Structure 1
Amino acid sequence: MTGADTQGRTLLELPRLPQAGPLYRRALLGALPGPGRRRGDALPQVELAVAGVAVDRAHLADYDRVCGFRLADRLPGTYPHVLGFPLALRLMTAPQFPLPLVGLVHVANRITVRRPVEAGETLDFRAYAENLRPHERGRQVDVVLVGAVGGAEVWRGVSTYLGRERTAGGGARRDRGDRPAAPAATASWRVPPRVGTDYARVSGDHNPIHTSRLGARLFGFPRPIAHGMWSKARCLAALESRLPEAYTVEVAFKLPVPLPSTVAFTATADGPAWEFALHDARSGRPHLAGSVR
C-alpha cells in the first residue's frame, strides 16, 4: 500500500519485514563495476513501514546473552534497532539510495527510549533517510528508524553513516595531534573472535568485515572487527541497572574494535546523566564515546 506522509515522502507499507539475505546479495552485486552503477545526489523520498512486528523471546534471550544484558521480558534500548534493521536495510539497498551499502561506515548512533517496551508488545516500524551532507572524506546520511506501539512512538533510532568518496581535498585525514590519555577503566572486557559471528546471527547484519578475515582484509582491516552496535549495546548493558525509564543514549564510533582484543570501559555519572567510553586496554586508542541523558 502506498500513500503520502506529512513530510512529503511517499509512504510504502510492506506486509512483513524484508529478508536480510537477499538484500545483502543485492548490495554486493551493486558494488561490482559496470555500467549504470553511478549513484545519485539526492535521497529517495520514500518512507518504508511495516506493522505488527512481534518479539521472539528466544531471539531476545540470545541477543541479551551476546550483548551482556540480563535475561528479561523488557527490551534493551538497543534491541529495537536489530528488530527493525531489515526495514532500514531495504531502504539502504534501494537503487535510488545515494551511498552504496558495501563500504558504508557507521559513525554515530542516537537512540531515544520514550518508555519501556515489553516483549509481549508488537511494534510498528517506519524507516526513512534524511540530512544527506558533505563530509571531508565523502558524504554522510542519517537513517531514521521509528518504533511505535498502538500508534504512539516508543522508540527512535538515528544511525549516521559515512560513504567514503574522493573529495576535492583528497579525503585526507585531519591531524589529530597527540591523543589525551585514556581515563582509568571502570571495567575490562575480553572481546573474543566469536563476537563478530554471534552478533551477526542475532542482529541480521552479516557484513563480512565482522565475520570473515578475508572480508575484513578486502576493506583494509587486518582481521575482523566488532559491530559498532554490539559495542554500544555492551556499554549500555554495563549501565543497565542505572538507566531511567526514558532516556537518550548517543555514541560516536571512533576506531574499530579488532577481534580478538581487550577493551577498557569507563563510565562517570553527572547527576542523572552518564558519560561513557570504550578504549583499547593496552594502547588507550578510543573505540567509542557516548552519553546517556
Structure 2
Amino acid sequence: MVNLTLLYAKAALTGFTRRGGELPTSSLDAQVTVDPEHLARYNKVCGFGVRDELPITYPHVLGFGLQIRLMTGPGFPFPLPGLVHVANRIRQHRPLRVAEPLSLHVALADLRPHERGRQFDVVTTVSVDGEEAWVDVSTYLRREGGAAKESSPRAEPPSPTARWRLPGDLGRRYAAASGDRNPIHLHPLTAKAFGFPRAIAHGMWSKARCVAAFEGRLPAAYEVDVRFKAPVLLPGAVDFSSTPTGDGWRFALWSDRPHLEGVISG
C-alpha cells in the first residue's frame, strides 16, 4: 500500500530542488485485487450503482499511488505542487470484473511544449492474464513564468440536463475513497494556501460523476475523453448537460463558466 500522505509531504519538502528538461524512463508495476468495500465507497461518492463491473474511472484510483510515486521519484523534473491536471482519457477494451486480479503498469510519457509552459502524460495500463483491458492517459501542465496566457472566446452554456448541488465535504469524501488527499480539495484553509478561495472538487470526481449519469446506456468497450476547464468550488452547484452524437455522447459541466467538457465514443 502506497502511503500518499508521506508522498505529499515529500513533494512539499523536495519540490524546490526539482529541475530538468526530461522525464525519467522508470515505470512501476503492481498486482491488485479489488476490495469490495472500497469499491462501494467509491461508487457511493461518485454516483455509481452496485454492480459486478468496475466503473470505467475506478482503476484510475487503483493506480493513483503509483502515479504519485513516479512524480515524486528520482529524476522527475517538476515539483508536484502546482501541476495542473488538464485532461484525462480512458479507453476500456472490455469491462473489468470485481473478482479479477489486475496487473497495473504506470509510466511517464511525451513531455512537450504548451503555450502556458510544458505538459506531459501519465499512462496507466491494466491487464488481465497478460491482455491489455484498460488504458488511462492523464495529462498534466507545468505552468512556467513568461508563458502566454491561454485565451478563448466566451461560449454560451449548453442547455442543462440536470443540476448537481455539491456539499462542502465532497473533497474529503472523495479523498477517503480515492486516496487523493491533495490539500486543495480538503479544506478552505489549505486550499487558500494554494490560491483558491475555498476547497475545490477533484477533477476525476467530476469525470466519474458525469460517467455515472450515463450508467446503463454505455457499451462494453468505449472511451471517455475529458478536458478540465476551471475548478469547481465547494460547496457549490453545477449544471450537467449531455447531447447524443453519432457514436456516443458529448457532455459538460458548467456554472458561471465551463468546468469540464467531454466526449464518450465507441
- Common fold, TM-score beyond 0.5? yes
1:174 to 145, 150, 153: 150
Is the Cα–Cα contact under 8 Å of residues 18 and 79 in structure 2 kept in the other structure?
no
> Which residue in 2 is equivalent to 1:120?
99
CA offset at residue 273 of structure 1?
Answer: 1.1
CA offset at residue 73 of structure 1?
Answer: 2.1
CA offset at residue 102 of structure 1?
Answer: 1.1
Q: Please list every run of 5 or more consecutive structure 1 residues that lacks an aligned counterpart in the other structure.
A: 1-16
Aligned runs of 1:1-293 on 2, under 5 Å? 17-31=1-15, 33=16, 37-51=17-31, 53-166=32-145, 170-177=146-153, 179-280=154-255, 283=256, 285-293=257-265
Q: Distance in 2 between matches of 1:175 and 1:91?
A: 31
TM, length-normalised to structure 2: 0.97
Structure possessing the higher relative contact order (Cα contacts under 8 Å, 6 or more residues apart): 2
CA offset at residue 195 of structure 1?
Answer: 0.9
Any idea what SS the aligned residue of 1:125 has? strand
Q: Distance in 2 between matches of 1:72 and 1:81?
A: 18
Any idea what SS the aligned residue of 1:102 has? coil
2:204 counterpart letter in structure 1: M
Q: Distance in 2 between matches of 1:96 and 1:43?
A: 7
Is the Cα–Cα contact under 8 Å of residues 224 and 262 in structure 2 kept in the other structure?
yes
Q: Distance in 2 between matches of 1:208 and 1:263?
A: 22
Paired residue total = 265
Q: Residues 174 and 87 (structure 1 numbering): CA distance in 2 closer, same or farther, change over 3 Å? A: closer
TM, length-normalised to structure 1: 0.88
1:106 counterpart letter in structure 2: H
Larger radius of gyration: 1
4+ residue segments displaced more than 4 Å? none
- Superposition RMSD in Å: 1.1
1:29 counterpart letter in structure 2: L
Is the Cα–Cα contact under 8 Å of residues 61 and 72 in structure 1 kept in the other structure?
no
Q: Distance in 1 between matches of 2:107 and 2:150?
A: 31
2:149 counterpart letter in structure 1: R
> Which residue in 2 is equivalent to 1:9?
none
Report which stretch shifted further, 221-230 or 266-275: 266-275
CA offset at residue 176 of structure 1?
Answer: 2.6
2:196 counterpart letter in structure 1: F
CA offset at residue 58 of structure 1?
Answer: 0.4
Q: Residues 63 and 38 (structure 1 numbering): CA distance in 2 closer, same or farther, change over 3 Å? A: closer
Q: Please list every run of 5 or more consecutive structure 2 residues that lacks an aligned counterpart in the other structure.
A: none
